[in-house]
Chains A and B, each alone.
Chain A
Amino acid sequence: LAKTTQPISMDSYEGQEVNITCSHNNIATNDYITWYQQFPSQGPRFIIQGYKTKVTNEVASLFIPADRKSSTLSLPRVSLSDTAVYYCLVGVNAGNMLTFGGGTRLMVKP
């Protein structure tokens, strides 16, 4: 399993863009990068996934450099409701994406 490293916490203000970077230096060739979001008192939920370059959906963007040793989750114009813990995982399938770590606690302030 590729180990990931994320900042423990981040603060932001409403309307700002938030970028959370995850390091995964020993990512394997077949590994995908997946981000989950967890609100208080809820289970994690899938946000976005990518393999290389850039992926965008209605919630976020995921930037992956050519060496794939890191990835950046970008949340455009955050709101208070984006306050959550964000987890970065790497692996080929759900079977080996099982190490969630501590995630990044994002606090969005008014």
Chain B
Amino acid sequence: DTAVSQTPKYLVTQMGNDKSIKCEQNLGHDTMYWYKQDSKKFLKIMFSYNNKELIINETVPNRFSPKSPDKAHLNLHINSLELGDSAVYFCASSQNQRTGPGETQYFGPGTRLLVL
């Protein structure tokens, strides 16, 4: 019954490796997001997809590539992992980015990535 789920919950890997984080929402939402939360707890948007189309792409290295096979899934692939990529990554979804007012986001439990 989890609304927004992410796998894996924890990810420990070596520098230079390639890894993926998966996200799925069963809320029927049109829009999904990826956020990065650093050690100071700042939550920064990385990407936003609306109905499988990329809407927002903040200043994120090209090593990060989102993939949306359908509107219920938004996966995050990271190439050549670096130490600075260590953070908690949250997936979220909302009904429709372009509608409002008062639209809210539903967040997944997060994926804790540690790059050694």
| Chain A positions near chain B (C-beta within 8 angstroms) | 30, 32, 34, 38, 41-46, 49, 51, 85, 87, 92-95, 97-103, 105
Contacts and interface: CB of A to CB of B under 8 A. Distances in A.
Nearest to A34: B104
Given A42-B109, A45-B107, A98-B56, A93 B43 contact: no
Contacts of A101: 42-43
Interface residues of B, number: 32
Contacts of B33: 98
A25 to B, nearest CB: 20
Chain A interface main SS type: loop
B41 A93 contact: no
Interface of B: 4, 31, 33, 35, 40-45, 48, 55-56, 90, 92, 94-110
Contact of B98 (A41, A43, A45, A95): A95
A30 B104 CA distance: 15
